[in-house]
Amino acid sequence: MRTAGVRPSLFPDIGARFFGYAGGLMLLLWDALRLIVTLRVKPSEVLRQAYFLGVQSWPIITLTSAFTGMVISLEAAAQAVAYGLSQLIGGSVAFGTLRELGPMLTGIVFAGRAGAAITASLGSMVVTEQVEALSSMGVSPTKVLVVPRLLACIITVPMLTVFADIVGVYGGFIVAALHAHVSSYVYWQSVQSLAGMSDFIAGLIKAAVFGAVVALVGCYEGLRAKGGAEGVGSVTTQAVVTSIILIFALNFAMSLVLFK
């Protein structure tokens, strides 16, 4: 195989790679939004993906949220009881869970489970020419592969976050009651007085954005898989890492905007 006579660049242009990646993600998002707005969506496929990506992530998200709520309560309870502030335990658990930990932990666990599944699935389709087969038939891979997963993630991550919020706050109650002997009335009264509906809604908005990030990054990485199994493994790792970093960064940015 001959090569063109072009001198290779000595230093990789990190800026160009960053903007190339960001631009690729935005183009994929634009393509998907265009298809969604023009209603070229198969509801049955969205539901199938929602079941596979969302419902099957429920047990692991429930478990992690329960233990997180419990550990916050454990740490807060010891301090609060020592300073006579046990009436703040429920509120602090609910406040932290609804605003930050519920959506963020759900997003991170979802990125690890569903994001990896999306990338591995699409990556395998790329290396076995299935995605090329779609294009060869005149069918947009974005329409068939990306749009259902994007919608499924945007719908299911907030739903999972509701579960995570409930389980986290309730887990906190169990530890507060058993460990610090805080009464049920005091705990739930504290929850009601410190955490409001606006915190809950803001958390769900964050969750929807995290869902979109996991789907977009997962699909984008999967669709640019190269080689065989090693290539699929490499993009899968990259997708999870990128999703988690973006979730942390966007969580901070959204907290700045939503809780001003």
Q: Which is nearer to other proteins, 7 or 260 (CB)?
A: 7
Q: Give the separation between CA 63 and CA 28, rounded to whole angstroms.
A: 33
**C-beta separation of 169 from 66 below 8 A:** no
Query: Measured from the CB of residue 15, what is the shortest distance to other proteins in angstroms?
Result: 19
Q: Which is nearer to other proteins, 89 or 125 (CB)?
A: 125
**DSSP secondary structure, 139-171, as one string:** --HIIIIIHHHHHHHHHHHHHHHHHHHHHHHHH
* 257 near other proteins, judged by CB under 8 A: no
Query: Measured from the CB of residue 140, what is the shortest distance to other proteins in angstroms?
Result: 8
Contacts 24+ apart (CB under 8 A), 227-230: 227/127, 228/127, 229/127
* 37 near other proteins, judged by CB under 8 A: no
Q: Give the separation between CA 125 and CA 168, rounded to whole angstroms.
A: 37
**Size of interface with other proteins, in residues (CB under 8 A):** 18
Query: Measured from the CB of residue 121, what is the shortest distance to other proteins in angstroms?
Result: 8
User: Site for other proteins (CB under 8 A): which residue of 82, 139, 229, 253?
Assistant: 139
* Interface region with other proteins, contact rule CB under 8 A, candidates 131-139, 161-169, 171-179, 235-243: 131-139
* 3 near other proteins, judged by CB under 8 A: yes
CA distances from 147 to 26, 54, 153, 166, 256 (A): 14, 15, 10, 29, 29
* 84 near other proteins, judged by CB under 8 A: no
* 229 near other proteins, judged by CB under 8 A: no
For the purposes of burial, counting CB atoms within 10 Å of the CB of 249, is it exposed (0-12), middle (13-18) or buried (19 or more)?
exposed
Here's the x/- map for other proteins, 177-216, by CB under 8 A: it reads as ----------------------------------------
CA angle 93, 96, 100 (to 5 degrees): 150
Residues that bind other proteins (CB under 8 A): 1-4, 6, 8, 125, 128-130, 132-133, 135-140
